[in-house]
Structure formats: C-alpha cells, structure tokens
Amino acid sequence: MTTSDEADLLARVPDGVFIGGRWRAAENGRTLQVTDPATGEVIKEVADASAADGAAAMDAACAAFPSWSRTPARERAELLRRAFDLVQERAEDLALLMTLEMGKPLAESRGEVTYGGEFLRWFSEEAVRVQGRYGVNPEGSGRMIVTKHPVGPCYLITPWNFPLAMATRKIAPALAAGCTVVVKPAALTPLTTSFFTQILVDAGLPDGVVNVITTSESGPVSEPIIADRRLRKLSFTGSTAVGQQLLKQAAPGVLRTSMELGGNAPFVVFEDADLDKAVDGAMLAKFRNIGQACTAANRFIVHRDVAEEFTRRVTERVQSFTTGRGTEDGVTIGPLIDDRAVDKADALVSDAVERGAEVRTGARTVDGPGSFYEATVLSDVQPGSDILREEIFGPVLAIVSFADEDEAVRIANDTEFGLVSYVFTRDLARGQRMIDRLETGMMGLNVGVVSNAAAPFGGWKLSGIGREGGFEGIGEYLETKYTLTPDPFG
C-alpha cells in the first residue's frame, strides 16, 4: 500500500511525454503502468509514446539545436548549476521516487541523488572549459587551429537500475557541450526521469533542448530516431546484447556512439589483504543496489590461505541484513526489479550448487508480493559454473579460490567483459602490477566503489565504448575541427 505521502509525491510526477517544452499525452492516448517491485502494485500510469511521438521529439531537438549550440557556455553552465541546486532541494522527493519505482532502500536512493546530482555540478564546471589549440605547422608554412563543436542532436537511452544518475550522466555533458537531446528512460522506471525533467524546466530549460519519451515499445520507437539522418550521437547504457543491436542500427548514419554496457567484475583478495577492508569493500561492491549494478562484483577470487576466513566474515555480515520494502527503516536489501530477475538469480545459484558450490547462507526466493531474493553467499564455486560467466544482477556473492598471482589474473581476465575490477592487497608493487594486468576500464584498489562524477567511467572489451564523467565525459558530445591557415608572414 502506498502511504499518503507517497501518493502525494506520485501525483506530482508529470505523466506525459515532454516535447518542445510541453508535457502532453502520447499521440495515440495510450499509457504504460509503473509498478512498485516491493509490492507488485501499479503506482502510476504515464504516457506510452509511439514512433510518432519519437519523431516529434526529434523534430523538437533539431529545431532547438541552432540556438542552444550558440548559447554562451556560461549560460548553459548556469542552467546546470541551478538544476544541481534544485536536485538538492528536492532530494527527498527524488530518493523516495526511486525507491518506489525501482526498490532500492531509501538510504541508497539518497546516495544516488548525491551521485546523480554531482554530474550536474561537474559538467556545469566543465561547460566553460572546452578548449581548442593553436599552433604552427612543422614546415612553418601555416597556422593550425583546432576547435571543438557540439556534435548535434543526441539520443540518450538509460536503464532502470540507476534512474537518476544514468540520466544526469548523459544529459549534463550533452547540454554543457551545446547539444540538444531526446531521452528515453527504461519502461520500468520512467518516473524519476520525468520528475528530473521538471527540475530542468524549473531551472530555466529552453523549449526543445531536452525532450523525453516514455514508452513500452523501446525498439519500434527508437529505430526511426536512430535512422534519422539529423541525429548525430547515440548514447546508451544497458545490456551488451541491446548495445550490440543499437551499434548495428547506428552504422548507416555513422553515429558517434557511447556504449556503457554489462560487466562481470572480479573482486580479488590477496593473502596479504587487510581483511576488514576487504569485507567492507565486498559488502559495497556486491550488495549496493541489491547487486543490480554494472559495477557489482560478480566473482570473488580469494587466495586459498584467507578464503575460509573471508567467507566466514562475509557470511556473518550477510546474515545480519534485513530484507523488505526499501521505504522501511533498517531495510538493507530491497526487492529485485521484477520476477524475471529473481528467476535469473535463482537459476544461477541452482546451477552453481549442482556443480558443487556450497551454500553458506540464503539461496532462497521469498514468498509473497514483491520480487525478493535472499542475500546469498556461495563458496567453492566450480569452474564452468554459469554464475562466473554471466552478470548475476542480484544479491549473490560467489567465491572461488586461487593459489598464486598468475592464477588470480588468469581467472579475473577470463571473461569477455571488462568494466571494473576490485583488488585488495597491502603490497604496493602487486597493486601496481594489477593496474597493468587486469583488463578493465576501471579498478578499485582497496576500495569497493569507484563511481565519481569527476572520473572517466567506462569499460573495455564487451563492456563498452567511450567514457562518462571526468574531463573525458564532455568530449563524447564534441566534434573536433582542424583548420589550416597560411603563414601570416608568408
């Protein structure tokens, strides 16, 4: 049951598509239902956009591009900064909304508001620091001028697991660079994006600069947008399988693409690690967002001399967790996003156990309304188990052991993914060797969370293309032009 505060908040969330500065119903009048994964109840209906709404959103983004791209960077920066301030003011609303539509405990939603808001602040600062260069060519016969230009209208597709941060991580650098955008949030969690869009409007967003389409038909609505030759950039966060399809669709238009895709993060604990830190790091790396993060530690690779002690300690911690609706005090494990996610976690655990893994705790679905899976620890997971190859996306901590550094590296790199790795060791030289040897775009060395708006977030191998955040993040929305002029003395 939603409480009256929750109902009041939900009533304040815009329920239309947002096109050309106006909220309106979908052209065909259809709506899609949003569900609370902790109760299975429908909490809101929003516009269910069709391809016609997608085309209208593209028209609006293209119409707004000439003036937004020429708007002084300082003005664009100030809009983002005002939006940052409003996110702070409305932090509690944003946090509750995320918990309602996605399920994570409120404390974690508050953490996401901080993280997601930081992209607005960071890129408000970066907007005014876009640099070119000027130089003399080596022959001395000319002057070389390098300038940066907004890439053009962009299409931004976001997943359900971090409804605010995945939106701000794309919208903020795009706007800072002078691009206009069409945003498509996941059908499971459209409310946070709509609420945030209203924050941008209240911060002074000009019409057409950001357009939002909520839809249950992501494929049919997206395809014509991606095929539209006015589009210049596609930025996607989601699964590798969908990313691969979208890359094919982006090929005819030779679109600039950013792909933030799936992960299979190794979490390596060496025998010299500070086990207290490693256990704390493991709790964050594994159970943040109920394990539903691309950065979630998927494989715990622990030296055989400390494997039993590490397993005992993480099991103790996991047994102290409280499972429930994320709005309730003291809850540490909320529901998974839907029943399919529960079935997937359960199937991966069953496969691992059939192949010889030992259940230390959990390994059970929870009856009743909502999509819950008990936090689980598995030890002695055997090579060949599906859980070592696939992204778990649930609260299951799977442990394998190793004998020496080379074996640890071999196991850690034995995946087609390469988003992030975690390493715990007290040996500085070993830590430095791991930076060279692990094939991932990011690494936590004695820490369990790496995300930061000021850092270049992104993956190697099947985990993606491009970087979000950091100095690099705005570059994804800029084109480079080189101009040659003659030697002015020649």
Interface positions with ligand NAP (CB under 6 A): 157-162, 166, 184, 186-188, 218-219, 222, 237-239, 242, 245, 260-263, 294, 391, 419, 459, 464
Catalytic residue among 108, 118, 126, 294: 294
Q: How far is the CB of 188 from ligand NAP (least distance, A)?
A: 6
By CB neighbour count within 10 A (0-12 exposed, 13-18 middle, 19+ buried), where does 71 fall? middle
- Number of H helices and E strands in the chain, helices first, is 16, 22
Token pair of 16, please?
A: 């239309």
- H helical segments located in 264-368: 275-287, 307-319, 339-354
62 as an active site residue: the answer is no
Token pair of 157, please?
A: 């597709």
Q: How far is the CB of 32 from ligand NAP (least distance, A)?
A: 9
Q: How far is the CB of 261 from ligand NAP (least distance, A)?
A: 5
Q: Cα separation of 409 and 270, whole Å?
A: 11
Residue at token pair 């609260």? 395
SS (H, E, C) 226-293: HHCCCCCEEEEECCHHHHHHHHHHHCCCCCEEEEECCCCEEEEECCCCCHHHHHHHHHHHHHHHHHCC
Q: How far is the CB of 100 from ligand NAP (least distance, A)?
A: 17
Q: How far is the CB of 35 from ligand NAP (least distance, A)?
A: 13
Is residue 422 within 8 A of residue 443, CB to CB? The reply is yes
Q: Which residue number, 307 or 453, has a Cβ lying nearer to ligand NAP?
A: 453
Q: Which residue number, 68 or 160, has a Cβ lying nearer to ligand NAP?
A: 160
Q: How far is the CB of 204 from ligand NAP (least distance, A)?
A: 27
Is residue 290 within 8 A of residue 326, CB to CB? The reply is no
Edge-first strand listing for the sheet containing 210-212: 22-24, 17-19, 210-212, 181-184, 154-157, 233-237, 256-260, 464-465
Q: How far is the CB of 143 from ligand NAP (least distance, A)?
A: 40
Q: Which residue number, 38 or 188, has a Cβ lying nearer to ligand NAP?
A: 188
Q: Cα separation of 93 and 273, whole Å?
A: 40
Q: Which residue number, 242 or 377, has a Cβ lying nearer to ligand NAP?
A: 242
Q: How far is the CB of 186 from ligand NAP (least distance, A)?
A: 4
Q: Give the strand pairing for 256-260 and 265-269.
A: unpaired
Token pair of 99, please?
A: 């918990």
Q: Which residue number, 294 or 375, has a Cβ lying nearer to ligand NAP?
A: 294
Is residue 306 within 8 A of residue 271, CB to CB? The reply is yes
Q: Cα separation of 467 and 441, whole Å?
A: 9
Q: Cα separation of 199 and 44, whole Å?
A: 19
DSSP 65-125: HHHHHHS-HHHHHHHHHHHHHHHHHTHHHHHHHHHHHH---HHHHHHHHHHHHHHHHHHHH
Q: Which residue number, 103 or 263, has a Cβ lying nearer to ligand NAP?
A: 263
139 as an active site residue: the answer is no
Task: Let me know how long the chain is.
Answer: 490
Catalytic residue among 260, 374, 468, 476: 260
Q: Which residue number, 132 or 220, has a Cβ lying nearer to ligand NAP?
A: 220
Token pair of 479, please?
A: 């084109």
Is residue 336 within 8 A of residue 292, CB to CB? The reply is yes
Q: How far is the CB of 112 from ligand NAP (least distance, A)?
A: 12
Q: Which residue number, 15 or 260, has a Cβ lying nearer to ligand NAP?
A: 260
Closest residue by beta carbon to ligand NAP: 238
What single-letter DSSP state applies at residue 373?
A: B
Q: Which residue number, 161 or 315, has a Cβ lying nearer to ligand NAP?
A: 161
Show which residues are catalytic: 260, 294
